[in-house]
Amino acid sequence: MFQLNALANAWPVEWYDEIDSTSALAGRRAVDGVQEPVWFAAKAQTAGRGRLGRKWISETGNLYTTALIPIDGLSPAVAGVSLSIGLAVRDMVIELSQGRLIPGLKWPNDVRIDGAKLSGILLESGRSSQTKQFWLSIGIGINLAFAPDIPDYATVSLAKVLPDLAVPPEAALTVLDGCLRGRLTQFSKFGMSSVIDDWMKATDQIGAICRSQLGDQTIQGEFHGLDEHGHMCLNTSTGEIVTITAGDVELVKER
Ligand code: BTN
């Protein structure tokens, strides 16, 4: 999916004091085609985008960034990329906290501390109408300094759990760049099974009762791991194993 040599060296960063959304910017830039990976990063966003059309609160202090990457084509392998990104953000937190914080992962790529959300990831893809080059944009928001208040939803920041750890967004992005290139290299070289093995060791979802939407159907069941494509399997009350390929997952009951 990626050219391995594009993952070898640090990706350049374009920093903005304020922008509408780094992912919206990536989409605009992608129209002209993408030759090499690039990070767009902003201190604040005025129209931060979350998954499923939600808003992402983007005041100064946290990290808001999007990597825009040329890819060979749109493929189901994007599920492996999605898991790899969650692992990369988790690696970043472990590195920045020098091992004091070990986050858990919730499918597909939420990074959590004690069940509260620390970061969000938004994947978008397309093809340049001008150059016909396919692209992938990886939007990442990480609560470094503060955790937005969201009704009925637990959020956390690095500063809240480790008040002595003041991480500027620039420093976080430098570490994230290395972690993300490392995980994408792992995926490219060793494939999905290697990523799934690591993801399963890192998830905090084992034994949890999960609820997800499958079309207009709501599926509830115990987390049963991932299939070989990286999709989530739920063990429902009838004993049927149902595979969830996309969408939001609500944890009805943690382990
Ligand atoms: C989610 O809903 O969990 C995903 C949130 C993704 C937010 C990031 S912040 C940087 C990038 N720019 C955006 O507008 N969104 C993503």
**Cα 238 to averaged position of ligand 1 atoms, centre (Å):** 36
Instruction: Find the 240 Cα to ligand 1 centroid distance in Å.
Output: 34
Q: What end-to-end distance do the CA atoms of the chain give, in Å?
A: 36
Structure confidence at residue 213 (pLDDT):
81
Q: Helix 78-96 crosses helix 169-202 at what angle (to 10 degrees)?
A: 120
Q: Which residue ranges form the domains of the chain, and what is each CATH number?
A: 4-202 (3.30.930.10), 209-253 (2.30.30.100)
Tokens 């979350």 belong to: 50
Ligand 1 atom 9, closest CA: 141
Say which amino acid occupies 52: L
User: Per-residue pLDDT for 117 more than 90?
Assistant: yes
Q: Which of 56, 142, 143 to mutate to test the pocket of ligand 1 (most atoms within 8 A of CB)?
A: 56
Please give the Cα distance from 71 to 211 (Å, whole number).
32
Cα 42 to ligand 1 centre (Å): 12
Q: 95: which residues sit within 8 A by CB, 6+ positions away?
A: 175, 179
Q: Which residues line ligand 1 at a C-beta cut-off of 6 Å?
A: 21-23, 45, 48-51, 54, 56, 64-66, 120-122, 139-141
pLDDT bracket for residue 2 (50, 70, 90): confident
Q: Give the pLDDT confidence score for residue 180 in this predicted structure.
A: 98
CA of 235 to the centre of ligand 1 (A): 30
Residue 51 CA, closest ligand 1 atom number:
2
Location of structure tokens 């943690």:
254
Closest protein CA for atom 15 of ligand 1: 49
- List 199's β-bridge partners, or say none: none
Locate the ligand 1 atom nearest the alpha carbon of residue 117 and give its number: 3
Could you tell me which residues come within 8 angstroms of residue 99 by beta carbon, excluding any fewer than 6 positions away?
A: none
Say whether 160 sits in a helix, a strand or coil. helix
Spatial distance between the Cα atoms of 248 and 255, rounded to a whole number of angstroms? 19
Residue 151 token pair: 């009704």
CB atoms within 10 A of CB 251: 18
Q: Which tokens hold the place of 215?
A: 């079309």
Q: Is 76 helix (H, G, I), strand (E, B) or coil?
A: coil
Mean pLDDT on 175-180: 98
pTM of the model: 0.95
**What totals of helices (H) and strands (E) does the chain contain, helices first?**
4, 12
- Chain mean position to CA 196: 15
Least confident among 113-117, 148-152, 176-180, 190-194: 148-152
Cα(50) to centroid(ligand 1), Å? 5
CA-48 nearest atom, ligand 1: 14
User: For 18-67, what is the HEC assignment?
Assistant: EECCHHHHHHHHHCCCCCCCEEEEEEEECCCECHHHCECCCCECEEEEEE
Which pLDDT tens digit goes with each residue over 54-107?
999 999 999 999 999 999 988 888 889 999 999 999 999 999 999 999 999 999
Q: How confident is the model at residue 250 (pLDDT cuts 50, 70, 90)?
A: confident
Q: How far does residue 237's CA lie from ligand 1's centre (Å)? A: 34
